Structure 1
């Protein structure tokens, strides 16, 4: 039974990462692509899944990603990736994800949600 639970967790992780990887925006020319977000956000996975605490490494990844978005175009690209990833998750997980920046003390210029209008991100 424990093996089944671990297999299910692995499958969920793979699905979440796959959602991030296949969501590139070919019409948006940016230094950042959806697949480049994975290393920054991977430390947050156990927290999002409810299997671990919000860690310093998760907050560092979110901060580093936020710092890397130097212009509106980058911020919109990241917003679009996160928006699409949020649409792949349950409502409960989406609420957990959207709360991470504020819990880490990081101010991002949009809400992580499947309904965010990323075109308005400055």
Structure 2
């Protein structure tokens, strides 16, 4: 359950995020942009790094279509198995967005249905 929450949180956070210029966003692109945030999300860092915030902003600013946002969400959900149980991803994501001064027009939650993202 915690693994799913972790990935869902990241998924929702990134739902508005990255677009690939020639087509749909790929999971590799999403992962590359968010890689600097992993330690923070998993509870191994007390603060968000500038490179993490840059990655989150890059993803958010690059999102151009609903299809790209839904694809990013699905990529993050599928990565749920790699997040260890016990990580408080929900709180970490809220804090990460606040510290990076990034606002999203939806709630970050494991119950987010990627197919309904516009």
**Which runs of at least 4 in structure 1 moved beyond 4 Å after TM superposition?**
none
Q: Residue 27 of structure 2: which of 29, 34, 51 is its match?
A: 34
C-alpha distance in structure 2 between counterparts of 1:49 and 1:66, whole Å: 21
Q: Residue 59 of structure 1: which of 34, 48, 53 is its match?
A: 53
Q: Structure 1 unaligned segments of length 5 or more: list them.
A: 1-15, 21-29
* Post-superposition CA distance 1:4-58 (Å, at most 9, x none): xxxxxxxxxxxx9xxx9xxxxxxxxx52011211110011122123222211110
| Higher relative contact order structure (alpha carbons within 8 Å, sequence separation ≥ 6) | 2
C-alpha distance in structure 2 between counterparts of 1:34 and 1:104, whole Å: 22
Deviation, structure 1 residue 84:
3.3
Q: Structure 2 unaligned segments of length 5 or more: list them.
A: 1-6, 12-22
Q: Is the 8 A contact 2:43 2:92 kept in 1?
A: no
C-alpha distance in structure 1 between counterparts of 2:53 and 2:28, whole Å: 19
* Post-superposition CA distance 1:65-102 (Å, at most 9, x none): 11111111111111222233346533533224432223
Q: Is the 8 A contact 2:41 2:87 kept in 1?
A: no
Structure number with greater Rg is 1
Matched, 1:50 2:43: yes
Matched, 1:95 2:90: yes
Q: Residue 74 of structure 1: which of 60, 65, 68 is its match?
A: 68
Give the total of aligned pairs: 95
Using the size of structure 1 for normalisation, the TM-score is 0.63
CA RMSD of aligned residues (A): 2.6
